[in-house]
Structure 1
Amino acid sequence: MNQPNQVSKEVEADCGFKSPNTRMRLKRSERLSSKRLKTANHHHVVNGLVVDDSRISNLPDELLHKIFSFLDMDDIVVRTSILSKRWRYLWKSTPTLKFHITYDCEKSKSASFVEHILFNRDRRRYKLETFNLKSDQGYMILKWIDEVTMSRVDELSLHIKGTLPNEAIIQLPDQVFKSGIKKLIVQYPMNLFHENMLLPKSMCSAEHIKSLRLRHVKFPEGDSDAHQLILNCPVLEELIVDKCEISHLETLTISTPQLKNLKLYTDEEDINVCQKIFCCPKLTSFYWSGSIKEKFIFKDISALTSITLEDFSVEYRSYNDNQDELNFIKRLLEEAKVLTEMLVNFRQRHSLYPPLSRPRLDKFEQKVLALPTASSNLSISFPELYSD
């Protein structure tokens, strides 16, 4: 029977490092090991269950990698080592790396753990398909970007859940958009202490990104004279922009020839009047959430079939009777020639405005239904009003 200290040394020796949560994991491992009884034919008992070492060890790598893709690297390195010796080395070839670093983790150990995994992978033999980092420490996000992009990663997901007041402004490196990444997710927290993460100008012409999801980040500076930014990614098919900062721009043009799915979420408190120009000939689905304050120009949305206006606010504004919202819908209906469905989901913005009455909403709906449409096969629906 293995002794607890032997298990600890064995795991550390094979893995070559201690992860941020290794001590806690190893204590669990030691308790588990004390209950493990070796039997004949590579069988052992773990917490009363008979486990066949040979059958576990003989599982194909592809299946194990699939299982690993759902686990944090901390779990893969420590927990799987208990079940099979062969599994102790599979982290070097797994195509999916997931890290979750919290304030509870010691900073230096967290960095050492991630760096050990990254720099000890055999990236020449094993392609890195997915890198997922969730961290409460914003400054750490840039430490490993170069190594990740050099590993030819397909999907990069960065979730920053917290920042410190004294942290400098974080700018995502150009290499992220110049590499072969196909799917990029960047989520940054809303923070009162400093500006949002800044995106580089290279995001506008990324050649390989097919899916781009952005939350609470700042778009790059536009043209120095006109403050115009043109997003022209040749293979981009999905774009989600969630409450991102564009107030420094006068015009944002989305001119993406392959874009099919576009979702835009606006910040209610943003009084920005940035003009948005859409030239997306293959766009089929358009989702908008928030109030209508900006100016819109739809140059080419000829393939659009579905529109959802979620959290569509209808304010009590007697001076224009919600003409901004009506004009927005009017432009969409005039340009979307094959549109089949539009959903307009109203909500009461906040208690500062008088409550919306059913007759008022009915009047607005009647105006929408009376608007001219370019499509002859269109269904418009209005779910029930809801409030914040």
Structure 2
Amino acid sequence: MDRISGLPDEVLVGILSQQPTARDVVATMVLSKRWRFLWRMVPKLVYDGSYQSNEFGKFSIFVLRSLVLHEAPVIKMLRFKLDQKSCNAIDIGVWFRIIARHVVRKLVIEIVTSSSKNTPVTLPRSLYTCCKMLVILKLSNTVLLDDAFSFIFFPSLKKLSLESIKYPPDGDEFVKKLLLSCPVLEDLYVEQCPDDNVTVFTVRVPSLKFASLYKSQDRVKDDKDGMHILLVVSSEVLASPNLRALKLCSYHNEDYPRPCWSEPSSIPKCLVSSLETLKWVNYEGYKDEKQVAAFILTNANRLKTAIFSSDDSNDHEKSEMLKELLSSSSPMCSRTCQLRFV
């Protein structure tokens, strides 16, 4: 027996966890009798079917069989990287029902697409019932369905990433419902895409500490159509009383008028007691941007760092915008906060 095979099971399982994909992990079962069943206890599984669009049927069967045989009670990380043209909700739904036998802590579903015109992959409603013990959930390029018959609840979820997601017809209400189902959420990443059925992405999560919110440039429309860019949504984000870091990224299509900033009727609690870091990407110094920035800088009592950046502005323009930001902030913020323009 070689030296590696003589190591304890937990050490060998740790070695197998470093393999790039689940197929590589399962392949080790042919090495010897010692390795035959070790793969079943690996707590990290990565299924990469993004390169197998012509053989997705075989890939799906492999995923199904390996999940059925898997014995680890806790799966620390489960990742699916799938091709948009071949995968479907039926296969994913079957996988989820098998996954329900385990406690999955981190779930990543990444749909690889070659064109934005391809039909998005719809995730099954079983996502809400089979993965209740998640701590981290990352979804990319998928469609989420509402489930009026099931109670959506992620009691342990602390980190949620929603990248280019399409929502049910009443997207605004679904977003509220989804975030309310995450009572201990601390870290939220959102990258909205065109036509995602969400007018205003409302974030009211008391436990939230970190938020990164992006809006696609193609997503911005005239206010009369009910569309608002992130600057309007930011007041909703600030409603999270424990928010420590906020990252804003503003885009605007010059073919449409700028939106208007509506100052909240009361100062959000996080500005008074918790917000320490602000980073604003693509800040151009428009009236609505200056109003939001002034509101944050004036009321953020604990702000330590505020960084603004603009790729389209020269050094003189950046210097002038920095002067405006400094003049709009409160004297206390000017003394205690490191404000930079990069």
Q: Which residue of 1 aligns with 2:144?
A: 198
Query: Structure 2: which 5+ runs fail to align?
Result: 221-226, 253-257
Provide the residue aligned with 2:62 in structure 1. 113
> Does residue 377 of the first structure (1) align with residue 305 of the second (2)?
no
Q: Structure 1 residues 147 and 96, CA, compared in 2 at 3 Å: closer, same or farther?
A: same
User: Counterpart of 1:347 in 2: which secondary structure?
Assistant: coil
The equivalent position to 2:106 in structure 1, one of 155, 160, 163, is 155
Distance 1:85 1:205, change over 3 A: closer
Q: For residue 161 of structure 1, what is the amino acid of its counterpart?
A: V
- Out of 199, 208, 227, the position equivalent to 2:156 is 208
Rounded Cα–Cα distance in structure 2 between residues aligned with 1:229 and 1:76: 39
Q: Deviations over 1:212-243 (max 9, x none)?
A: 1111002445489x898363321001111123
* Percent identity (aligned): 24
d(CA) in 2 for partners of 1:163, 1:264: 24
Q: 2:176 matched to which residue of 1?
A: 229
What pairs with 1:71-86 in structure 2 (closer than 5 Å)? 71=19, 72-78=21-27, 80-81=28-29, 83-86=31-34
Residues 258, 322 of structure 1: CA spacing in aligned structure 2 closer, same or farther, 3 A cutoff?
same
State the match for 2:135 in structure 1.
Answer: 182
Cα deviation for residue 377 of structure 1 reads: 0.8
Q: Which residue of structure 2 lines up, in the alignment, with residue 87 of structure 1? A: 35
Residue 368, structure 1, aligned to residue 329, structure 2 = no
Secondary structure of residue in 2 paired with 1:229: helix
Indicate how the Cα distance of structure 1 residues 343 and 115 shifts in structure 2: closer, same or farther if over 3 A, else same: same
For the structure 1 residues 357 and 56, does the alpha-carbon distance in structure 2 shift closer, same or farther, using more than 3 Å as the test?
closer
Q: CA deviation at 1:73?
A: 1.4
Q: Distance in 2 between matches of 1:358 and 1:323?
A: 20
Match of 1:258 among 194, 203, 207: 207
| TM-aligned CA deviation for residue 246 of structure 1 | 7.3
Deviations 1:64-102 (A, max 9, x none): 222222221111222x24544311211222222111112
Distance 1:86 1:242 in 2: 46
Query: Residue type of the partner of 1:115?
Result: L
Match of 1:242 in 2: 191
Classify the secondary structure of the residue corresponding to 2:36: helix
What's the offset of the Cα at 1:153? 0.9
Residue of structure 1 in register with 2:223 after alignment: none
Task: From the superposition, tell whether residues 380 and 205 of structure 1 become closer, same or farther in structure 2 (CA, over 3 Å).
Answer: farther
Shift of 1:330: 1.3
Change (3 A) 1:92 1:339: same
1:45 corresponding residue in structure 2:
none
Q: 1:287 aligns with which of 229, 239, 247?
A: 247
Q: Once the two structures are superposed, what CA deviation does each residue of 1:255-305 show, in whole Å capped at 9, x if it has no partner?
A: 212211111122112113164212111111111223376657562323010
Name which one, 1 or 2, has greater alpha-carbon Rg: 1
Matched, 1:327 2:291: yes
Gaps of 5+ in 1: 1-41, 43-51, 189-195, 315-320, 349-355, 384-388
d(CA) in 1 for partners of 2:95, 2:114:
18
Q: Distance in 1 between matches of 2:92 and 2:309?
A: 37
**SS of equivalent to 1:212:** strand
1:308 aligns with 2:279: yes
Q: Does 1:130 align with 2:77?
A: yes
Query: What are the residue-to-residue correspondences of 1:26-37 with 2, within 5 Å?
Result: none
SS at 1:156's partner residue? strand
State how far apart, in whole Å, the 1-side matches of 2:319 and 2:169 are.
42
TM normalised by structure 2 equals 0.78
- Identify which of structures 1 and 2 has the higher relative contact order when contacts are C-alpha pairs closer than 8 Å and 6+ apart: 2
**Aligned 8 A contact 2:29 2:39 in 1:** no
Output the TM-score relative to the length of structure 1. 0.69
Q: Which amino acid in structure 1 is aligned with residue 241 of structure 2?
A: P
Distance 1:284 1:118, change over 3 A: same
1:91 aligned counterpart, secondary structure = helix
Match of 2:96 among 145, 151, 159: 145
Stretch deviating more after TM superposition (103-112 or 324-333): 103-112
Q: What is the distance in 2 between the residues matched to 1:106 and 1:269? A: 34
Distance, in Å, in 2 between the alignment partners of 1:329 and 1:198 is 33
Contact 2:166–2:196, Cα closer than 8 Å, also in 1: no
Which protein is richer in strand relative to its size?
Answer: 1
Partner residue of 1:273 out of 202, 217, 228 = 228
User: Normalized per residue, which structure has more helix?
Assistant: 2
Pairwise CA RMSD? 3.1
What is the number of equivalent residue pairs in this alignment? 306
